[in-house]
Chain A
Amino acid sequence: MTPSDDRGDLDDRADHRLHPLSILFEFAAKVRSFALPSVAFLVTAGFAGFAWQLLLLPMTLPYLVAAIARYISFRYRYEPGELVIRTGTLFRNERHIPYSRIQNIDGVQNVAHRLLKVMEVRVETGGGQEAEATMNVLPIADFEEMRRRVFERRQEAPAADGVAEAHPEAPKGRGPLHLLHLPTRELMRLGLIQNRGFVVIAAAVGLLWEMGPMNSFLGSIFDSSGGRGFGVGPPKHAAREAWRSLVSPILDGNWLPAVQGFTMTVAAVLLFLVVVRLVSMVWTVVRLHEFRLTRTGEDLRTEYGLLTRVNATIPLRRIQTLTILEGPLHRLTGRVSVKADTAGGHQEAGQDNDEKPAQREPLAPILRRAELPALLSEVLPGLDLDAVEWQPAPARAFRREIKGWVLAALGSAIPLAVVLRGWVFAALPLLLLWAWMGARGTLAHQAWATTGDAVLYRDGWIWRHLSIAPFEKIQAVTVRESPRDRHAAMARLKVDTAGAGDLSERVEIPYLLKETARELQAMLALQANRNELRW
């Protein structure tokens, strides 16, 4: 990249267009969303043969026209300070997106995209639930160019304002800095830990259901209401029957068949769980194949996927909160998972990744504990987790914490009582012990801290998380006192940031002494004001 090239970019305000293949992809996407339900409808309606397929063809023509019109009308150009996108033939729309507001630029390639060497590009700003601009599809070179132009120019702007970047040790060179690479072995471990197998299996069943092949199979199950196969009445009834046949011999004192049945059931359940874990592992390996996290200048880039290749860019200073998650299997294998929340469009959790690539993968889905400090120093310079002085919850918080656990224990005893009858009194001490351990474990790990430029909070007993909110990302600070809080002279402090994700991953500190809470609130608000928000 020579300087003259850069200058050439600045003068170039020519219109850019989508790749001609856009017509194909746009058309295919529309037809797919329209065809799947109608296929299902026609199949279930009992249509035979292929005639209906021909019938559908003329119905797709409007989509083809729309796709062509979109390709012809879609233009974008790089103005000095903003990206301008024009769309529409009848209803024209011109969207101006200032470079300084762009949160992420993601490129997604599914198998077809990769074969044809094109890419779907999404541009996200802070507002709204979805991407501000989706360009389906661009040549790969154009994606690279957009990334370069948008993020380079955004970097020029603050420098001109004299706002020094807070990362003195940041490599200013263009060379990408490799932060994390996940080989297949590590991905399998991640699949084992994450256990998303249930999601995959549920999605597969749902898809099969929609596609039709399941219909005949399921039909044979559900139509046989005469009493064959699984069709013994409604499922609830069947479940109760199965349970009774399993449990009543035990209660009646007839042990042997019961033990046999029990072993079989346990074996089946175990087998199922193993299969689910295996599916999860395969799914993770396919989805995150060759996961790479690199730092290029002030941007973090992630790249992953075997079939659908995703290429996401997160500017470092767009990270609103950072969360470190740790489950029991994480601890067993000495791993953690690091998530970064940005203010970009937020997808509901648990959506299918192939359909909604905007759902962002964690920054580091799995990471050796020993490598955590190195990553943190790249993402949040100046933060040393080992040097943080944690403030634990006050000792009298235990009395309040355990009440919730005991209530949960007693609550779970009620359904158990239905099943175990009198035996529930044997289970009760165990439940109460669990409550006691839970309350103790939670409070032992729960703590908050402030450093020179961030507020930290950690929580959780078995599944732990640690959230970090830099002062400059704090939007509002609230202190709440419930009647119980007031009784105990305590308060709950919450830090609000943009694009906060899961409830469990926010900085929300309970059981603060009232005075501490008020002082912390004043301090955080002051710090937030002092550290200007830089989007």
Chain B
Amino acid sequence: METTLEDSTAPEAPAVSQPIAQPTPAALVADGVERQLDPRSVALDRKVGWIVAASISFPIFVTVFLLLLLAPILGWVKALMALAWLVITGVLATVAHRYPQVAHRHTFYKVDAQGLQIRRGVFWRIVINVPRSRVQHTDVAQGPLERTHGLGTLVVYTAGTDHAKVSLHGLDHGTALLIRDHLLPGDARDAV
């Protein structure tokens, strides 16, 4: 599939990429190769997952603990409540630990002269294709956690309705900047 896609785009490439014909770093990233996200993003997503899991699990723990202490409940109900908390926490922790890796295996991006293509989704899969000439503006955002991992989030804005904002998180910050430079409309013709 990817090869036929390449074939169809290849003859078109020179016409569109002319303004960046010289091999700038930004052009190097636009090689049309389908890439995975930075492996460090798995570690980052796990941390985020743990934080989310903890923020769900902790209030439940407090509630259960207070109920066990104060409420006049039968012994086996107490045991059941404690067990429920353990199961919920266990499931959350497992998902938080495992899911980022699975998601990483299913996320790809591709930058070429035509634009940006993002493929992701574990159960519901989606391929988003944003033509380069439709990029209105781009952001590269970096949160505090992302900064410690050297990662960044690329946000591409189009004039569309449902995909007015397409974001790709888990990129190496430098790569995100390069893709941004590539997608920036340096082309005078598509002045809208």
The answer on a CB contact under 8 Å between B114 and A529 is yes
Q: Is the CB of A478 within 8 A of B127?
A: yes
Given contacts A483-B124, A532-B133, A533-B192, contact A518 B1 (CB under 8 A): yes
Residues of A within 8 A of B127 (CB): 478-480, 518, 521
Interfacial chain B residues near A526, Cβ < 8 Å: 8-9, 12, 114, 131
Q: Which B residues are CB-close (under 8 A) to A483? A: 123-124
B117: min CB distance to chain A, Å? 8
A535 to B159, CA, bound (A): 10
Docked CA distance A263–B92 (Å): 61
Bound complex: CA A422 to CA B8 (Å): 61
Interface segment among A106-114, A366-374, A494-502: the answer is A494-502
B178 on the A face (CB < 8 A): no
Which residues A453-492 have CB closer than 8 A to chain B?
A: 474-483, 486
Residue of A nearest to B117 (CB): A525
Q: A475-B160, A476-B163 are in contact. Are A529 and B132 (CB under 8 A)?
A: yes
User: Bound complex: CA of A518 vs CA of B163, how far in Å?
Assistant: 18
User: Which chain A residues border B9 with CB–CB below 8 Å?
Assistant: 522, 526
Query: Is the beta-carbon distance between B162 and A533 smaller than 8 angstroms?
Result: no
Are A498 and B125 closer than 8 Å at their CB atoms? no
Q: Does A241 contact B (CB under 8 A)?
A: no
- Closest B residue to A477 by beta carbon equals B129
CB distance B158 to A532 under 8 Å?
Answer: no
Contacts of A477 in B (CB 8 A): 128-129, 131
Q: Which residues of B contact A529 (CB under 8 A)?
A: 12, 16, 114-115, 131-134
The answer to whether B12 touches A499, judged by C-beta atoms less than 8 angstroms apart, is: no
Distance in angstroms between the alpha carbons of A525 and B128 in the assembled complex: 10
Assembled-state Cα–Cα distance A522/B10 (Å)? 12
Q: A475 touches which one: B5, B121, B134 (CB < 8 A)?
A: B134
Q: Is the Cβ of A476 less than 8 Å from the Cβ of B1?
A: no
In the complex, A382→B132 CA distance in Å? 26
Interface string of B95-138 (1 = CB under 8 A from A): 00000000000000000001101000101111111111110000
Most chain B CB neighbours (cut-off 10 Å) among A524, A525, A532? A525
Q: Decide if A105 is an interface residue (CB 8 Å cutoff).
A: no
Taking a contact as CB atoms under 8 Å apart, the answer to whether A343 and B115 are in contact is: no
In the complex, what residue of chain B is closest to A126 when comparing beta carbons? B159
Is there a chain B Cβ closer than 8 Å to A270's Cβ?
A: no
Chain B residue at smallest Cβ distance from A508: B162
Chain B residues within 8 Å of A518, by CB: 1, 5, 127
A497 contacts which chain B residues (CB < 8 A)? 160-161
Residues of A within 8 A of B117 (CB): 525
- A474 contacts which chain B residues (CB < 8 A)? 131, 134
Interface size band for A: 35 or more
Give Cα distance in the complex from A172 to B127, angstroms. 43
A494 touching B162, Cβ below 8 Å: yes
Cβ-defined contact, A343 with B12, below 8 A: no
* Across-interface contacts of B134 in A (CB, < 8 A): 474-476, 528-529, 533
Which residue of the partner chain, among A126, A475, A478, A533, contacts B190 with CB atoms under 8 Å?
Answer: A533
Of the candidates A100, A101, A476, A482, which one forms a contact with B130 in the assembled complex, judged by CB atoms under 8 Å apart? Answer: A476
Query: What are the residues of chain B within 8 A of A515 when measuring CB–CB?
Result: 1
Q: Are A496 and B192 in contact (CB-based, < 8 A)?
A: no
Q: Which of B155-177 contact A (CB under 8 A)?
A: 158-164, 166
B4 contacts chain A at the CB level, 8 A cutoff: yes
Contact partner of A486 among B5, B16, B125, B133, CB < 8 A? B125
B6 to chain A, nearest CB (A): 9
Q: A475-B134, A519-B4, A529-B133 are in contact. Are A496 and B115 (CB under 8 A)?
A: no
A534 contacts partner chain B, Cβ-Cβ < 8 Å: yes
A294 nearest CB across to chain B (Å)? 27
Interface contact A525-B114, CB-CB below 8 Å? yes
Q: A residues within 8 A CB of B160?
A: 475-476, 496-498, 500
Judge whether A500 and B161 touch: CB under 8 Å: yes
Task: Give the shortest distance, in Å, between A188 (CB) and chain B (any CB).
Answer: 35
B159 touches which of A475, A481, A486 (Cβ 8 Å)? A475
Q: A519-B4, A522-B5 are in contact. Are A100 and B192 (CB under 8 A)?
A: yes
Closest to B123 in A: A483
Closest chain A residue, CB of each to CB of B4: A519
A498 near B192 with CB under 8 A, answer no
CA distance A457 to B121 in the complex (A): 26
User: In angstroms, how far is the closest chain A Cβ from the Cβ of B182?
Assistant: 14
Q: Is the CB of B124 within 8 A of A530?
A: no
Bound Cα distance from A479 to B129, whole angstroms:
8
Closest to A522 in B: B5
CB pair B129 A476 closer than 8 Å: yes
Query: A523 interface residue, CB < 8 Å from B?
Result: yes
The one of A100, A343, A478 that contacts B163, using a Cβ cutoff of 8 Å: A478
Which B residues are in CB contact (< 8 Å) with A500? 160-162
Known: A476-B166, A479-B127, A529-B16. A499 touches B161 (CB 8 A): yes
Find chain A residues with CB under 8 A from B125 CB.
Answer: 480-481, 486
Q: B87 CB to closest chain A CB, in angstroms? A: 25
- Across-interface contacts of B16 in A (CB, < 8 A): 529-530
CA–CA, A486 and B117, complex, Å: 20
Instruction: Tell whether, in the assembled complex, residue B190 and residue A522 are in contact, meaning their CB atoms are under 8 Å apart.
Output: no
Give the CA-CA distance A535 to B136 in the complex, in Å: 12
CB distance from B156 to the nearest CB of A (A): 9
- What is the CA–CA distance of A499 and B164 in the complex, to the nearest angstrom? 10
A479, A482, A496 — most chain B CB neighbours (10 Å): A496
- Would you call A476 and B131 a contact (CB within 8 A)? yes
| Complex interface: chain A residues within 8 A of B5 (CB) | 518, 522
Shortest CB-to-CB span from B14 to chain A, Å, is 13
**A100 / chain B contacts, CB cutoff of 8 Å:** 192
Q: What are 11 A-B interface contacts by the 8 Å CB criterion?
A: A475-B163, A477-B129, A478-B129, A496-B163, A519-B4, A522-B5, A522-B8, A525-B129, A528-B134, A529-B115, A533-B134
User: Which A positions have Cβ atoms within 8 angstroms of B?
Assistant: 100-101, 126, 343, 474-483, 486, 494, 496-500, 515, 518-519, 521-526, 528-530, 532-535
User: What would 8 more interface pairs be, CB under 8 Å, given A100-B192, A476-B129, A525-B130?
Assistant: A475-B130, A480-B125, A500-B161, A522-B4, A524-B129, A526-B114, A528-B131, A532-B133
